[in-house]
Structure 1
Amino acid sequence: MTIHEVAEKDLDDWLQLALELWPDYDAADMQAILGTIDQSPREAGFLARDERGKAIGFMNLSLRIDYVPGASQTPVAYLEGIYVQPDRQDQGIGRALISRAEQWAREQGCTELASDVLFDNQLGQAFHKRSGFTEVERVVFYIKQV
């Protein structure tokens, strides 16, 4: 398996995996989001490929300068999304992506890597705990029309 930063030749594979993780997005909107990440000096996308070169996972990272719960400095390296195809999970690919995220964070001058998981995503929460993340806050957001 290899993990590398997304390049031009990877855009279609990155898009396909992102749509698997976030199926509520349409392809054009997701393509625009990934294009913004690809062009940003404060964001990065990484792909995991198997020994045959097939894309099997990805992660998106950013440098956040806004408030990040539990962070002691700014900017903070932030794991914006991580995904490994279901048939390839529990093979160390997610952990390898996190190791690469930690390396990227250090390269950006950060000493912390932050992330978030939806409240009902038990699988994601368990993955983060196994990967060495510490839970720092739980929040329920509300909105009201006025």
Structure 2
Amino acid sequence: MRLLTAQDGHPWSELRHALWPDQSADAHLAEILEMLSGQSGVGYGAFGPDGALVAFAEVSIRSYANGCTSTPVPFLEGIFVEEGSRRMGMAGLLLARIEADLREKGFVELCSDVEMHNTPSHLAHRHWGFVETERVIYFRKPLGT
């Protein structure tokens, strides 16, 4: 487990694309490079026996997050383990590393969110020790021209 760098960009962008397929791996790579250059977040990676990146987690620092008790607050933006490496504890190891780094920096909590329909992610978050704080449904009204 280690922090990811720009050198990890291509395999990291492929894993991001698997988690968030609405944009291309190239668009994810651009976001990764922007994130790293602006220091708006960090990525952590887990590697297989052959040295290939098989899992990642991203954390940003938000000024506020629903249900949190402190500000600013570290926020788990995403976590993903490729299918062939699941059920081996990699996500838990990534989170343990993240939590240790955050405690060292003086943070007292880590927050996250999950879409309402994503029941497997709800279960995973509970397994990792997260506690549900609230449920929110967002609305949008186009204003037209």
Q: TM-score, normalised by structure 2?
A: 0.92
Deviations along 1:12-57, one digit per CA (max 9) or x if unpaired, are: 1111111111111123321221112212334101111012201110
Deviations along 1:68-100, one digit per CA (max 9) or x if unpaired, are: 122121111110000001221111011111111
From 70, 94, 97, the equivalent of 1:100 is 97
Following the alignment from structure 2 to structure 1, what is the Cα–Cα distance between the partners of residues 40 and 32? Answer: 13
Residue 43 (structure 1) aligned with residue 41 (structure 2):
yes
Structure 2 letter corresponding to 1:11: G
From 122, 126, 129, the equivalent of 2:123 is 126
From 15, 21, 28, the equivalent of 1:23 is 21
What's the secondary structure of 2:115's corresponding residue?
coil
Runs of at least 5 residues in structure 1 that lack an aligned partner in the other structure: none
From 64, 67, 71, the equivalent of 2:68 is 71
Structure 2 letter corresponding to 1:29: A
- Contact 2:16-2:25 within 8 A present in 1 as well: no
Structure 1 letter corresponding to 2:61: L
Following the alignment from structure 1 to structure 2, what is the Cα–Cα distance between the partners of residues 105 and 99? Answer: 10
Q: CA deviation at 1:121?
A: 0.7
Following the alignment from structure 1 to structure 2, what is the Cα–Cα distance between the partners of residues 141 and 71? Answer: 18
- Contact 1:19-1:25 within 8 A present in 2 as well: yes
What's the secondary structure of 1:141's corresponding residue?
coil
Following the alignment from structure 2 to structure 1, what is the Cα–Cα distance between the partners of residues 117 and 15? Answer: 21
- Contact 2:6-2:33 within 8 A present in 1 as well: no
From 88, 92, 106, the equivalent of 1:91 is 88
What's the secondary structure of 1:36's corresponding residue?
helix
Following the alignment from structure 1 to structure 2, what is the Cα–Cα distance between the partners of residues 41 and 34? Answer: 10
How large is the RMSD of aligned CA atoms in angstroms? 1.3
Q: TM-score, normalised by structure 1?
A: 0.91
Following the alignment from structure 1 to structure 2, what is the Cα–Cα distance between the partners of residues 100 and 42? Answer: 19
Q: Which residue of 1 aligns with 2:54?
A: 56
Q: Percent identity?
A: 32
- Contact 1:37-1:45 within 8 A present in 2 as well: no
